[in-house]
Amino acid sequence: MRLLLINGPNLNLLGQREPELYGLSTLESIECDLREKAKAQGAQLECFQSNFEGALVDRIHKAIGEVDAILINAGAYTHTSVALRDALLGARIPYVELHLSNTNAREQFRHHSFLADKAIGVVSGFGVMSYQLALQGLLGYLRKGRESL
């Protein structure tokens, strides 16, 4: 099973960025941990982060035929990007949307996601554990299909 973890804008600052909201773990440590957890379950996880919308779109295009599914924390682009939605749908790669914070408990503009309605599922509000829960959910889905959920 080949998986791709995509992190969007400002997530490279994890560890120093608004720690009261996003915790103290760095993106590097989150990626390392998730790569190991995926490996322990027989999956191969590649990680990509960019602050540029177009670079994220390009990475999704490159993933066509290369990965079985995507885990994505699109950061602020979650709430603004039709381009990312179109890229994910155009690539026809199943994906899970995830967030460290509970976006529905925050400002109104974070309540809408351009990705959520087409995602396999959405995990939001569990801090670093959101990444692990998203991975678990995705692997279960890929192994057994939607009826396993």
112 is catalytic: no
Which residues does residue 3 pair with via DSSP β-bridges, in sequence order? Answer: 45, 69
Point out which residues bind ligand DQA (CB under 6 A): 10, 73, 75-76, 78, 99-101, 103, 110
Catalytic annotation, pick one of 22, 77, 131, 141: 22
Q: Nearest-CA neighbor of 67 among 87, 97, 35, 91?
A: 91
Catalytic annotation, pick one of 77, 95, 99, 131: 99
Written as one string, the DSSP assignment of 13-50 is GTTTS-HHHH-S--HHHHHHHHHHHHHHTT-EEEEEE-
Burial class (CB within 10 angstroms; exposed 0-12, middle 13-18, buried 19+) of 95: buried
From the CB of 116, what's the least distance to ligand DQA, in Å?
Answer: 12
Q: Which is nearer to ligand DQA, 3 or 14 (CB)?
A: 14
From the CB of 8, what's the least distance to ligand DQA, in Å?
Answer: 7
Euclidean distance between CA atoms 120 and 39, whole angstroms: 21
Q: Which is nearer to ligand DQA, 92 or 108 (CB)?
A: 108
Q: What's the token pair of residue 11?
A: 């997530």
From the CB of 56, what's the least distance to ligand DQA, in Å?
Answer: 13
131 is catalytic: no
Q: Which is nearer to ligand DQA, 40 or 82 (CB)?
A: 82
Q: Which is nearer to ligand DQA, 59 or 110 (CB)?
A: 110
From the CB of 144, what's the least distance to ligand DQA, in Å?
Answer: 27
Q: What's the token pair of residue 102?
A: 């509970």
Q: Nearest-CA neighbor of 34 among 133, 147, 141?
A: 133
Active site residues: 22, 99
